[in-house]
Structure 1
Amino acid sequence: MILIADSGSTKTDWRLIDANHEIEQYKSSGINPYQQKEEDIRAEVLEYLKPQINQDVHQVFFYGSGCSSPANIATLERVFKEAFPSAFVKINHDLLGAARALCGHEAGIACIIGTGTNSCLYDGREIISNVPSLGYVMADEGSGAWLGKQVLTDFLRGDMDSDLAGKLTKQYEVSKDEVLENVYQKHMPNRYLAKFSRFLFHNIDHPYVYQLVYRGFTLFIEKNVKKYENFDQLPVHFTGSIAFYYNSILRQVAFEQDITIKHVIENPIAGLTLFHKNSIL
């Protein structure tokens, strides 16, 4: 049995492949060792996920955000070894998962725009270059957290059109104190910020919203995609909820900058499942 996970800051998609190539699927909250303590991750895996799996797991392939440092990799290895003692465990960065799902064995630029962002230059086998994402506090242009931060800042400072501000007030209980508490005192502020991207999606025809999303994608391409060698000659792929649901704006921005977008998918799990399914004899 092979257990595969694609995990972002908000959610984790799981697939279990058995010897007959039958596939079961599960979902859980996001797992990010930069933002969660080991005991919280352990609770998610042992108390929520494992009880749903009634078969022996022989291999675990986990692709997740925050899985680039040796310390974070070791944390996740401990948790999965505790949950599945006889399994081979391989922890990979979510960026490699995105590249494998999007590019397969072809060279290209793989990008993630979801709650957060990331990108890489992939040669068909491995990642050969990566512009540091730096996270939602310092960067993540165009991400759900970045969009939410801009919306809340404009709303609280009175820089948003009154009709749109009225809709936001009606849909959410937004106040300065509530926002500051969630951003500076509560757990996973990036998830809190990203939830406001749904408000933008439902108001995409408003000029303010369109221009905000357009600006976020423009910044992402300028500060990430254009820094890779031959960016204008390689296919560029995207995964993540923001890229997927706003793909028409994303493609427009790319077209105007002479960038060729090939695949835009909501999440990499289907491609990763196929990748690992083909490795089963």
Structure 2
Amino acid sequence: MILIADSGSSKTDWRVIHRDRRISQHRGVGFNPYYQTSQEMAEEMRHDFLVNLESEIEEIFYYGAGCSAPQRNQEVADALRTIFPEAKINVDHDLSAAAHATCGHQPGIACILGTGSNSCDYDGIRIIDTRPAPGFILGDQGGGGYIGRQFLMDFINDEMPADIKEEVIEKYKLDAITIQEHVYRQPFPNRYMASFCRFISEHKSNPYCYMLYYNAFQDFFDKHIKKYKCYEEKPVSFVGSIAYYNSDILRKASADANIHVNIILESPIAGLTLYHQELL
């Protein structure tokens, strides 16, 4: 049996391909070795879905945020090995998952717009170029944390429409002290900031909320897509909740930037499942 994981900072999609080609699935919390130790990840992984499969899984293909360096990949592998000591474990970057799921065996640019953001230029076989992805403090343009951070900055500085601010206060009991507590003292500030994207999406008919997304997507294009050679000639695909649930704004922003959008998926897990079924 094969276990596949597609993990971002907020959630992980797990799929099991059984020997009879039957598929079972589960959604759990996200992981990122830049923000969690192996022990912390292992503790989060020890839920019934995985523990009950301990003796049956033969090989694991884990694609995750933060898995771009050998040391970080080893930390994820160590966490998985506490549950599956006998399984063969493969840890790869979430960009590989995005490329396999959206481009298949064709060249293109694959992008992630979820809690964070990232991109790569893919030749149909391998990733041939990437852009720096320094995380939610120094990067993540177009991602949920980036958009949520701007939203919270506007809240603190009274730079959002009064009716939006009043509704935010009423719904979340929000104030500057609460924001600073979550951002500077609580774990996973990127998840906290990204959590406000649900509210922003629900109000994207408001020009202010619409432009939060539009401008963040343009920032992503400037820092990522436009840095790739001949980007105007290549299909550009996206995975991630921010891209998927705001695809109307993303397509408009892309057209304005002369970027050809191909596929927009909420998650690459279905494409990865098909990809790895060939191994059975």
Query: 1:185-196 counterparts in 2 under 5 A?
Result: 185-196=185-196
Task: Give the corresponding residue for 1:33.
Answer: 33
- Aligned partners of 2:52 and 2:210: how far apart in 1? 42
Q: Which secondary structure does the structure 1 equivalent of 2:232 belong to?
A: coil
Output one character per residue of 1:56-109: Cα deviation in whole Å (capped at 9) or x when no partner.
Answer: 000000000011111111111122222112211000010111110110000000
Residue 54 of structure 1: how far off its partner (Å): 6.8
Task: Give the corresponding residue for 1:173.
Answer: 173
Task: Give the corresponding residue for 1:276.
Answer: 276
Query: 1:188-227 counterparts in 2 under 5 A?
Result: 188-227=188-227
Task: Give the corresponding residue for 2:233.
Answer: 233
8 Å contact kept, 2:54–2:83? no
8 Å contact kept, 2:112–2:238? yes
Structure 1 residue identity aligned to 2:170: K
Residue 40 of structure 1: how far off its partner (Å): 1.2
Please state if 1:112 is matched with 2:112: yes
Q: Which secondary structure does the structure 1 equivalent of 2:167 belong to?
A: helix
Q: Which secondary structure does the structure 2 equivalent of 1:99 belong to?
A: helix
- Aligned partners of 1:259 and 1:169: how far apart in 2? 37
Task: Give the corresponding residue for 1:100.
Answer: 100
Structure 2 residue identity aligned to 1:148: G
Q: Which secondary structure does the structure 2 equivalent of 1:164 belong to?
A: helix
8 Å contact kept, 1:115–1:143? yes
Residue 211 of structure 1: how far off its partner (Å): 1.2
Query: 1:1-150 counterparts in 2 under 5 A?
Result: 1-53=1-53, 56-150=56-150
What is the CA RMSD across the aligned residues, in angstroms? 1.1
Structure 2 residue identity aligned to 1:120: C
- Aligned partners of 1:227 and 1:77: how far apart in 2? 32
Q: Which secondary structure does the structure 2 equivalent of 1:135 belong to?
A: coil
Residue 134 of structure 1: how far off its partner (Å): 1.2
- Aligned partners of 2:86 and 2:203: how far apart in 1? 50
Please state if 1:182 is matched with 2:187: no
Structure 1 residue identity aligned to 2:10: T
Residue 55 of structure 1: how far off its partner (Å): 5.7
- List structure 1 segments (4+ residues) > 3 angstroms apart after TM superposition: none
- Aligned partners of 1:238 and 1:122: how far apart in 2? 13
Q: Which secondary structure does the structure 2 equivalent of 1:205 belong to?
A: coil
Moved more, 132-141 or 103-112: 132-141
Query: 1:262-273 counterparts in 2 under 5 A?
Result: 262-273=262-273
Q: Which secondary structure does the structure 1 equivalent of 2:63 belong to?
A: strand
8 Å contact kept, 1:110–1:122? yes
Unmatched segments (≥5 aa) in structure 1: none
- Aligned partners of 2:79 and 2:153: how far apart in 1? 38
Structure 1 residue identity aligned to 2:83: A
Residue 130 of structure 1: how far off its partner (Å): 0.3
8 Å contact kept, 1:7–1:65? yes
Cα pair distance change 1:183/1:48, threshold 3 Å: farther
- Aligned partners of 2:114 and 2:252: how far apart in 1? 18
Residue 50 of structure 1: how far off its partner (Å): 2.2
Output one character per residue of 1:184-220: Cα deviation in whole Å (capped at 9) or x when no partner.
Answer: 1110000000000111011011011111111001111
8 Å contact kept, 1:13–1:28? yes
Residue 48 of structure 1: how far off its partner (Å): 4.8
TM-score, structure 2 as length reference: 0.97
Task: Give the corresponding residue for 2:156.
Answer: 156
Q: Which secondary structure does the structure 1 equivalent of 2:263 belong to?
A: strand
Structure 1 residue identity aligned to 2:87: A
8 Å contact kept, 1:61–1:89? yes
Moved more, 89-98 or 35-44: 35-44
Alignment length (residue pairs): 280
- Aligned partners of 1:52 and 1:190: how far apart in 2? 31
Q: Which secondary structure does the structure 1 equivalent of 2:214 belong to?
A: helix
- Aligned partners of 2:140 and 2:75: how far apart in 1? 25
